[in-house]
Structures are given as C-alpha cells and as structure tokens.
C-alpha cells in the first residue's frame, strides 16, 4: 500500500513539475520584448539613402516639346525611365512612362485587326482631359488628402485598385495618384506604381518639379 502511494506521489510530482515548467516558459516567452519590423537605425539608413538620391541626371518632360498637346505642363523624372510620346484621342491625352530595364514592345500582326502591340514595363502615367472637374466631387473619395502643387489645389491618394486607368502593368500592389481637377480648364492626373520604398520619395520629388 505504501509502495503504491509512493509511486502515485512521484508521478504527481513529475506532472506538477512538467506543468509548472510549461507555465514558466509561457510567461517568459510572453514577457519578451517584441522586435519591431523596422529598427530606428534602419529608418535612419533609409532616410539617409533617400536624401542621397542623385537627381542631377533627371530628365525634363514637357507637354509642349514632347507631345502634341497644347496644354503646358512640365516636370522632371528619373533617368531610369523612358517616355514614348503621347496617346491622343479627342479631348483626352495620356503619356505613359516606362522602366528602361523592363520596357518591352511585342507586336503581332492580325489580318482582321491589324498590328497589335503589347507594351510592358509601364511605371507611371500622365492623364490630361481638356474638361476640368469640380474638386468637391473628388473630395468624396476615401484615402485622400489635399495638396498644393505649384499654386493649384489637388488631391493625393494611395489605393490598391487600378484607379480607373487601363492597360497599365501594375508590378507593385500600391499605386499613388495625384489629381489636379482644374489647371487652366484642364483635368490632370499623374499615377505611379510604388514598387520599392524609394518610389514614394521619387514621386514626391517629381511633384516638387511640376510647373504649368
């Protein structure tokens, strides 16, 4: 009888020790500090890298000099981009910008339709409509805030949708859009894909160079 009691006591002690060790381990793990996704040092390095981006070789785009548009607008864009003129139709003109390294034009001839081309590597898009729009209609949209660009009021928003622009190859998940509803009677949009952390900085720098 005493032998059975001794065995039961030993088993009980082992079980309680096991449970106690598990509880201790749980609280020890839960009390560990959570490592941030980005440390302060990494943030400083990223900020430093954006400040050191060389803009001396950036290219000036002009709607007057580089397209057939009569609307006057200019800005600078990175040397790693390439611009291939404008696509004009009625009151609307669009200007695509491409990543030089990803730019690819694949054209196939179709007897019934003619030549069709698939162009890859688009990274940004300028849209100009000769008809202006009331900024109050845009203010109803979400994920936006007002900005002033070269003295004109505009709307800036980041969205994961295609923002209403077709035929643009979205390499990244996020897109950023500047909307200027009334620039001398014109409605203007500039959209860019955010592929890397530097892209938002590049977008902001482009906005700083916009002139009308």
In a domain, 39, yes or no: no
In a domain, 168, yes or no: yes
**133: containing domain:** 56-208
| H helix or E strand, kind and range, residue 148 | strand 144-149
In a domain, 184, yes or no: yes
Asked if pLDDT for residue 44 goes beyond 80, the answer is: no
In a domain, 5, yes or no: no
In a domain, 3, yes or no: no
Cβ-contact 73, 210 below 8 angstroms: yes
Cβ-contact 75, 61 below 8 angstroms: yes
Domains of the chain: total:
1
Domain CATH code at residue 130: 3.40.1000
Q: What does the pLDDT look like over 46-59, one tens digit per residue?
A: 445 556 667 999 99
In a domain, 30, yes or no: no
In a domain, 202, yes or no: yes
80 or 170: which carries more pLDDT confidence? Answer: 80
In a domain, 24, yes or no: no
Q: What does the pLDDT look like over 25-37, one tens digit per residue?
A: 444 444 444 333 4
């Amino acid at each position: 009888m005493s032998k059975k009691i001794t065995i039961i006591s030993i088993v009980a002690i082992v079980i309680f020790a096991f449970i106690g060790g598990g509880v201790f381990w749980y609280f020890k793990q839960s009390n560990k500090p959570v490592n941030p996704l980005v440390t302060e040092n990494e943030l400083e390095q990223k900020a430093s890298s954006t400040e050191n981006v060389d803009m001396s070789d950036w290219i000036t785009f002009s709607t007057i000099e580089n397209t057939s548009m009569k609307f006057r607008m200019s800005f600078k864009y990175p040397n790693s981009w390439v611009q291939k003129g404008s696509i004009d139709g009625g009151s609307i003109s669009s200007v695509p910008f491409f990543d030089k390294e990803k730019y690819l034009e694949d054209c196939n001839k179709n007897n019934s339709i003619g030549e069709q081309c698939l162009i890859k590597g688009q990274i940004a898009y300028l849209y100009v409509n000769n008809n202006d729009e009331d900024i109050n209609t845009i203010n109803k949209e979400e994920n936006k805030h007002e900005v002033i660009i070269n003295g004109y009021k505009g709307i800036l928003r980041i969205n994961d949708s295609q923002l209403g622009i077709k035929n643009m190859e979205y390499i990244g998940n996020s897109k950023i859009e500047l909307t200027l509803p009334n620039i001398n009677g014109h409605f203007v949009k500039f959209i860019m894909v955010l592929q890397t952390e530097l892209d938002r900085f590049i977008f902001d720098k482009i906005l700083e160079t916009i002139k009308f």
